[in-house]
Structure 1
Amino acid sequence: MHEDGVFDGMVAASYDDDDAISAPEVVDPIVDLLVDLAEGGRALEFAIGTGRLALPLAQRGVEVEGVELSRAMVSRLRAKEGGDTLPVAIGDMATIHVDGRFSLVYLAFNTINNLITQDAQIACFQNAAAHLGPGGFFLVEVGVPPLQRLSVGETILAFACSDTRWGIDAYDVVSQNFSSHHIWLQDGSYRQLTVPFRYVWPAELDLMARLADMELRHRWGGWKKEPFTSVSDKHVSVWQKT
């Protein structure tokens, strides 16, 4: 699991500035789906971050708790309206225990990839199941590994290129590990950040769920329940505790 320093003050301070993940038209469909899956019960967000999803979910009447490794991200959450009322446990989402049982545990925006070994990802599924009541749901949003875009022998894909920001992902197709390299030009100086990840296939996640006594109930291509197809670049999957 990433150390707190990866998502330090610099990253936390600008995390909500990205409209691609924080704009109302992005967040609202996510919250709508989470409200439906919670079915009036309690929700637990693994990697709650700055409260991008948890705060509007709580405003919709769902009792929300969170788990987060980065204290800098939690500090940003606490500074927001209502952020000081949400219970947040500091620790690793693969191992930490929160009291009580939940109707929904969810993990959004590729965060399952932050666990950089298969064993840690399996442990995350098992930990989610341990927090669910009978019939509860575990939801994961994650990208589909983009290996179809790699030519044979290639390992590099660019994901950002502008006058002030550059980004590339470097893939190891043997270990399923990859690193995202970010470079920013800010106030005349360059800043660089490298974050390690492990990509994971949908079928692999389904097996992890089975190991945790959960079964696949839904797999969509997005938060609006778009069909998941061979060209989907991400999926929103929901497993139910059996």
Structure 2
Amino acid sequence: MTSSDLWDEDTAARYDDVSAEMFAPDVLDPAVDFLARLAGDGPALEFAIGTGRVAVPLTARGVRVSGIELSQPMVDRLRRKVSADEVPVAVGDMASTTVPGAFSLVYVVWNSIGNLRTQDEQVRCFQNAARHLAPGGRFVIELWVPGIRRFPPGQAGVPFAVTDQHVGFDTFDMVTQQGTSHHYRRLGDGSARYGFSNFRYIWPAECDLMARLAGLEFEQRVADWHGAAFTSDSESHVSVWRKPMEATDS
């Protein structure tokens, strides 16, 4: 059993529309550029591949991409874009599901590693990435930095989106590092739809320790896909760890 929320048919059907801003070229192209450079001539594996927001354009760049995805309805949406021959996907959780082959790149984007809601599963996710990497291959995650510094005493949540179409905020349990993202979206008829997703937040230093436990070496951390410097004020990070050339899988 996985602790992740399971995205159903209704959620999968709406995913591309409600996430439209993440498909915008100024958001997506730098991520694809970054990942394509790291993949080089080798194959890539995406954890939580979803509907193929990143995998489809990365495939168009000539990178051979495979995926792991927990939600069959999300995979069904992906199949409307590319075939199983073009982008093979195993249905399962990213902490334990395996696929054949050794990869030059394993990646998980847009905070998706937080869908694993226990520290043990997150550690196993790093180990699963290392298991799939060829020596010298890299594991990349894109992850936000929890906005806990913005909490005044007594505040229960932190907003991350406030527009006339979408209001979103996160609530946190500081003891367990559990959180919930709450979304209120305005529909065309003027009504509102509420949705939520649960996560466990991870600090950058905690990620580094998980990587070390998996036998990976830290390579770089930047604030975004453009390569901006990561500082104490950064609200997100793209982090890269490398599997040593001399590494062997047990």
Calculate the TM-score normalised by the size of structure 2. Answer: 0.91
- Per-residue deviation at 1:39? 1.9
SS in 1 for 2:158: strand
Residues in 2 aligned to 1:86 and 1:137: alpha-carbon distance in whole angstroms: 20
Per the alignment, do residues 60 and 82 of structure 1 end up closer, same or farther by CA in structure 2, a change over 3 Å counting? farther
The answer to whether the 8 Å contact 1:155/1:172 transfers is no
Does residue 39 of structure 1 match 2:40?
Answer: yes
Q: Output one character per residue of 1:156-180: Cα deviation in whole Å (capped at 9) or x when no partner.
A: 1122334443322111111111111
Q: Output one character per residue of 1:209-228: Cα deviation in whole Å (capped at 9) or x when no partner.
A: 00000011010000011110
- Per-residue deviation at 1:47? 0.5
Give the partner amino acid of 2:196: T
Q: Give the corresponding residue for 2:223.
A: 221
After superposition, residues 1-242 of structure 1 pair within 5 angstroms as 1-4=3-6, 7-17=7-17, 18-81=19-82, 85-186=86-187, 187=189, 189-242=191-244
- C-alpha RMSD of the superposition: 1.6
Residues in 1 aligned to 2:8 and 2:142: alpha-carbon distance in whole angstroms: 23
- Per-residue deviation at 1:3? 3.8
Q: Which stretch has the larger CA shift, 89-98 or 147-156?
A: 147-156
Residues in 2 aligned to 1:222 and 1:190: alpha-carbon distance in whole angstroms: 32
SS in 2 for 1:142: strand
Residues in 2 aligned to 1:53 and 1:119: alpha-carbon distance in whole angstroms: 27
Q: Which runs of 5+ in 2 are unaligned?
A: 245-250
- Per-residue deviation at 1:141? 0.2
SS in 2 for 1:75: helix
Residues in 1 aligned to 2:207 and 2:151: alpha-carbon distance in whole angstroms: 22
Residues in 2 aligned to 1:205 and 1:152: alpha-carbon distance in whole angstroms: 28
Q: Output one character per residue of 1:79-111: Cα deviation in whole Å (capped at 9) or x when no partner.
A: 115576310000000000111110000000000
Calculate the TM-score normalised by the size of structure 1. Answer: 0.93
Q: Output one character per residue of 1:188-227: Cα deviation in whole Å (capped at 9) or x when no partner.
A: 5443222111110000000000000001101000001111
Identity of aligned residues (%): 52
Residues in 1 aligned to 2:125 and 2:54: alpha-carbon distance in whole angstroms: 20
Give the partner amino acid of 2:101: G
Q: Give the corresponding residue for 2:248.
A: none
Q: Which stretch has the larger CA shift, 42-51 or 77-86?
A: 77-86
Residues in 2 aligned to 1:209 and 1:203: alpha-carbon distance in whole angstroms: 10
The answer to whether the 8 Å contact 2:138/2:243 transfers is yes
The answer to whether the 8 Å contact 1:55/1:82 transfers is no
Q: Which stretch has the larger CA shift, 160-169 or 127-136?
A: 160-169
The answer to whether the 8 Å contact 1:78/1:84 transfers is no
The answer to whether the 8 Å contact 2:5/2:197 transfers is no
Q: Which stretch has the larger CA shift, 202-211 or 26-35?
A: 26-35
Q: Output one character per residue of 1:112-143: Cα deviation in whole Å (capped at 9) or x when no partner.
A: 11111111100000000000011110000000
Residues in 2 aligned to 1:46 and 1:202: alpha-carbon distance in whole angstroms: 19
Residues in 1 aligned to 2:86 and 2:35: alpha-carbon distance in whole angstroms: 20
Q: Which runs of 5+ in 1 are unaligned?
A: none
Q: Which stretch has the larger CA shift, 155-164 or 90-99?
A: 155-164
The answer to whether the 8 Å contact 1:77/1:84 transfers is no
Q: How many residues of Structure 1 are paired with residues of Structure 2 in the alignment?
A: 240
Give the partner amino acid of 1:91: G
